[in-house]
Structure 1
Amino acid sequence: MTEMSRRTFGGLVGAVTAVAGTATAAEAAPAEQPFRARTAAAKGDRPNLLVILGDDLGWADLSSYGAPHIRTPNLDRLARQGVRFTDAYSGSATCSPTRFSLYTGRYPGRTKGGLAEPIANRTQGLDPNHPTLASLLKKAGYSTALIGKWHCGWLPDYSPTRSGWDEFFGNHGGVLEYFSKLGQLGDYDLYEGDAEYKDLRYYTEVLTERAVEYVGRDHDRPWLLNLNFTTPHWPWLAEDDAETGAEIAARIRAAKTQAEVGRALNHYDGGSVEKYAQMVESLDAAVGEVLAALRRSGQEENTLVLFASDNGGERYSYNWPLSGQKFVLLEGGIRVPTIVRWPARVDGHQVSHAPNVSPDWTATLLELAGARPDPAYPLDGPSLAGYLLRGERPPEHDLFWRVRANRALRRGDWKYYQDATKTDHLYNLAADSREQADLATDRPELLAELKAAWERTAAGLLPYTD
């Protein structure tokens, strides 16, 4: 990447970062350096894996990614202690397909359940027979837990405990009202294992409490914790909005159809830029509590923390300078903040511009844990372990996306994009991260090459049936 593109994507590093709550500390912090692997590090034990997802968190919604009005000191600190990735992407532009891609390491279109964008009824889900990050790590000797949003299918057929996680505490659906826990099917959606668990406190608080308990245990083997917050996904509710939450819950209970439930949860008559910032800051505080518990437990040094979002932001998100948002394959719909910290093996104060996407992290985590993919279900992403630990160049591969309305493929700095009208576009992201300068007519040969590459990959996926 050019230095100009690095400035565009990375922002003015340090100028907006909240460090320990003081400007003086921010000014004193070492500047980010281009990523370089610490190749002399000893191998040591296999790491614990803490994978944290925000929900509908936009690319620039953290102060370390450029948000001028949202304070995220804990995530900024995590970035300073590790590597901040500027060109990281979700596996899709909505919730459940991205989770399919992260859990399976494969394109969502490899599986029937991954065709739902997103999952919205009990007939859809992740086949329990399909290998997952959790099931493969479990075979390799890891304890596995998922706390928070699953969104890969409802009981009785689908659940994390049917797909390799030893423990589950959270919601099955894609959205719920934060206090009553009424979800998108109109019923109660907070479970411990397969049993309903009653807790009417603010959901982010409940999930944080559970995660703090999990990481603080006296573990006798390495562990994987998928910690999936619903924050800052709508409805637009913070800790002090119980009254508004009760109004939404009443509308859900009165709904006659699932569409009416959806309208209540979408909260189109609520929210604001300020409320959204409050929700993101709540997420940041929650992550801070979990990381503090990890530190107290003595496991921080050899725990790899991966923080990301499941797709781009929505409505009130701060995505500048990107175009688009959740649901579309423009940069604002799929480029997400991504941070990796592993004190035992990776130096801090670093930034990487290497393009990567959700399935790459599945392959990476499996390799770092000494687990093998199932050869009957080949992964669609390369491992970044060689890049992170051995000084190898980042894997050069096409980043591919397919949704019903759009298609996209990134190769190096170039991106092929087809919009909902089936018009093809070509962008040079190094010069135009906002995707405004369409070079399709200037570079027809390159456009045709990238389009053909997209079609070759798409030919191997399941077709949409509706």
Structure 2
Amino acid sequence: MRIKLAAMFAVGIALSLTLSSPSRAAERPNVIVIMADDLGYGDLSCYGATELQTPNIDKLAAGGLRFTEGYCSASTCTPTRFSFLTGMYAFRQPGAGIAPPNATSLIKPGTETIASLLSKAGYKTGVVGKWHLGLGEGEGPDWNGLLKPGPLEIGFDYCYLLPTTNDRVPSVYVENHRVVDLDPNDPLWVGRKKPSEDHPTGIDPEVRKTLKMDWSHGHNNTVHNGIGRIGFYTGGQKARWRDEDLADAWVDKSVEFIESNKDEPFFLFFASHDLHVPRMPHERFQGKTKLGFRGDAIVQLDWCVGELTKTLDRLKLSENTLIVFCSDNGPVLDDGYKDGAIEQLGKHKPAGVYRGGKYSIYEGGTRTPFITYWPGTIKPGQSDRVVCTVDLPASMAALVNQPLEGQACPDSFNVLPALLGKSDAEGRDHLLQQPNKGPTLALRVGDWKVLSYASAKPHKRLTYAKGEGKYELYHLVDDPAEKNNLVKKHPEKLKELLEQLEAIKAAGHSRPGI
């Protein structure tokens, strides 16, 4: 009798756990943030592109929520990635501009991040792909030793990284704290100046003749894989990668991470790099579009997304996984290499109807594709709520009931209801936008937007020409392309918004509840 009772009790417990597991899973879904690099609002077929097709990303948009007013917080990579992880506007952090090759860790250990918040909630956390937030401390990264602090010191359990960017040295992978496949007998050296007079560079006429992709400006220091880079490095020959293989490496390591953590909640930051220069997609994608290597890189990005979603389907994880698809900034065509991006553009409009792109504070610099996908939870549709990558830490903390304490994530809003498509959800009521770093900033409040520059002097950038004057004012509903500067017609609105911008800067935070 005791044996039968014990058996019945065991069966009852098992049944109880089985029945309760879906509700427990629903409380802690897996989270994957896919951040594209230099992808513009008009670069995807689900956002109106007609010169190429992105079926896998389109599937996310068709089965999830496609935002028409989704933003990154800055129009360059390092600031957006910093604010996405920390929930803090990057202009508040000294040195948070585009990181050089030997940059040390920008996010200090002990800083609350989206990864540390989810880790506290019991998640396994990983980042695969582009980092560009610095590694190590002191005078520079120890490329031949332990590269710490880094992702593992701010909440990640695992990382497999492109430590800087594809156009910056060193051209190696970093897994957790070390350079992958580094031979101690061939140490890696990274510096700002030529290590020797005979060190070949892309500026040397004879070397330049041999390049597989020529440079248009800059990008002419050390040559690797037939392409000039920013910065100098020597050694580490066995550790060096090919540009063409990066996307495959990101997918392979991401699939390994998902498979290893399929039985517990996980958070994966998939940091794509496909569209960033030098654009050198794998040979199997080259020539797939009529837009040149930039268009081919978009197709490669779409393939990456498809490989991730196929993995979730295969492991039966799709209905318990929230995917957020976004970009780190708007598009750029000639960003230092002669890759045909301008010459082969044709009818394609990378930023859609919006003005500007990467490096600018016009809408084209920060308004990007933004999609949330969670089968069975998010109802398919379109949203005009204002949401931003800086909001993901607070929103994911709310998703898993993890409190934000003190000054943590000071500019991150909980817009979870909007991300999930709740009918009564509100997005942001205001949003600050920046280029690489301050003091140039823009502030959107409702349908109004003010641009505040450091100087009234007109100047040109790679993707846009600044208008006249120190300030610009636009009403986005009537003028989404920001063509009609209303500074003279609405001086009171200009004054109101500039005062609000200064108040946000001075407060040191903008998150409600602090």
Please report the TM-score for the alignment, with normalisation by the length of structure 2: 0.71
C-alpha change, 1:281 and 1:125, in structure 2 (3 Å) is same
| 1:107 alignment partner, one of 89, 96, 108 | 89
**One-letter amino acid of the counterpart of residue 442, structure 1:** K
C-alpha change, 1:461 and 1:396, in structure 2 (3 Å) is closer
**One-letter amino acid of the counterpart of residue 86, structure 1:** T
Query: 5 Å matches for 1:453-464?
Result: 453-461=500-508
Q: Separation in 2 of the partners of 1:425 and 1:324? A: 14
Q: Is the Cα contact below 8 Å between 1:426 and 1:439 reproduced in 2?
A: yes
Q: Separation in 2 of the partners of 1:129 and 1:291? A: 33
Q: Which residue of 2 aligns with 1:303?
A: 321
Q: What do the CA deviations read for 1:165-217 (whole angstroms, capped 9, x no partner)? A: 000011121x12xxxxxx62x32331111122245461011111111222233
SS at match of 2:498: helix
Q: Alignment RMSD, CA only? A: 2.4
Q: For the pair shown, which has the larger CA radius of gyration, 1 or 2?
A: 2
Number of aligned residues: 385
Q: Which residue of 2 aligns with 1:143?
A: 124
Q: Which residue of 1 aligns with 2:56?
A: 74
SS at match of 1:100: helix
Q: What's the CA shift for 1:326? A: 0.5
Q: Which residue of 2 aligns with 1:264?
A: none
Q: Which residue of 1 aligns with 2:31?
A: 49
| 2:480 alignment partner, one of 429, 433, 445 | 433
Q: Which residue of 2 aligns with 1:325?
A: 357
Q: What's the CA shift for 1:434? A: 0.7
Q: Separation in 2 of the partners of 1:404 and 1:110? A: 9
**One-letter amino acid of the counterpart of residue 172, structure 2:** D
SS at match of 1:202: helix
Q: Separation in 2 of the partners of 1:111 and 1:420? A: 18
C-alpha change, 1:283 and 1:221, in structure 2 (3 Å) is same
Q: Which residue of 2 aligns with 1:266?
A: none
Q: Is the Cα contact below 8 Å between 1:82 and 1:340 reproduced in 2?
A: yes
SS at match of 2:51: coil
| 1:170 alignment partner, one of 161, 165, 179 | 161
Q: Separation in 2 of the partners of 1:386 and 1:53? A: 21
**One-letter amino acid of the counterpart of residue 362, structure 2:** L
Q: What's the CA shift for 1:157? A: 4.3
Q: Which residue of 1 aligns with 2:371?
A: 339
| 2:178 alignment partner, one of 195, 198, 204 | 195
Q: Does 1:91 pair with 2:73?
A: yes
Q: What's the CA shift for 1:242? A: 12
Q: Is the Cα contact below 8 Å between 1:85 and 1:351 reproduced in 2?
A: yes
Q: What's the CA shift for 1:355? A: 1.2
Q: Separation in 2 of the partners of 1:382 and 1:168? A: 27
Q: Separation in 1 of the partners of 2:271 and 2:304? A: 11
Q: Does 1:406 pair with 2:440?
A: yes
Q: What's the CA shift for 1:415? A: 0.6
Q: Separation in 2 of the partners of 1:321 and 1:409? A: 20
Query: 5 Å matches for 1:240-255?
Result: 240=283
Q: What's the CA shift for 1:126? A: 1.2
Q: What do the CA deviations read for 1:259-317 (whole angstroms, capped 9, x no partner)? A: xxxxxxxxxxxx99422111101100111011101110111001000000001110147
Q: Separation in 1 of the partners of 2:260 and 2:359? A: 38
Q: What do the CA deviations read for 1:342-367 (whole angstroms, capped 9, x no partner)? A: 1132112x000111222222211111
**One-letter amino acid of the counterpart of residue 366, structure 1:** A
Q: Which residue of 2 aligns with 1:64?
A: 46
SS at match of 2:488: coil
**One-letter amino acid of the counterpart of residue 358, structure 2:** K
Q: Which residue of 1 aligns with 2:195?
A: none
Q: What do the CA deviations read for 1:420-445 (whole angstroms, capped 9, x no partner)? A: 63411111111111100111111111
C-alpha change, 1:121 and 1:191, in structure 2 (3 Å) is closer
Q: Which residue of 2 aligns with 1:361?
A: 392
Q: Which residue of 2 aligns with 1:277?
A: 295
SS at match of 1:301: helix
| 1:126 alignment partner, one of 107, 131, 137 | 107
C-alpha change, 1:433 and 1:169, in structure 2 (3 Å) is same
Q: What's the CA shift for 1:381? A: 2.4
Unmatched segments (≥5 aa) in structure 1: 1-40, 177-182, 244-270
C-alpha change, 1:89 and 1:406, in structure 2 (3 Å) is same
Q: What's the CA shift for 1:118? A: 4.3
Q: Separation in 2 of the partners of 1:406 and 1:417? A: 8
Q: Separation in 1 of the partners of 2:108 and 2:52? A: 39
Q: Does 1:381 pair with 2:412?
A: yes
Q: Separation in 1 of the partners of 2:423 and 2:450? A: 30
Q: Separation in 1 of the partners of 2:132 and 2:266? A: 22
Q: Is the Cα contact below 8 Å between 1:216 and 1:296 reproduced in 2?
A: no
Percent identical? 31
Q: What's the CA shift for 1:339? A: 0.5
Q: Separation in 2 of the partners of 1:364 and 1:60? A: 26
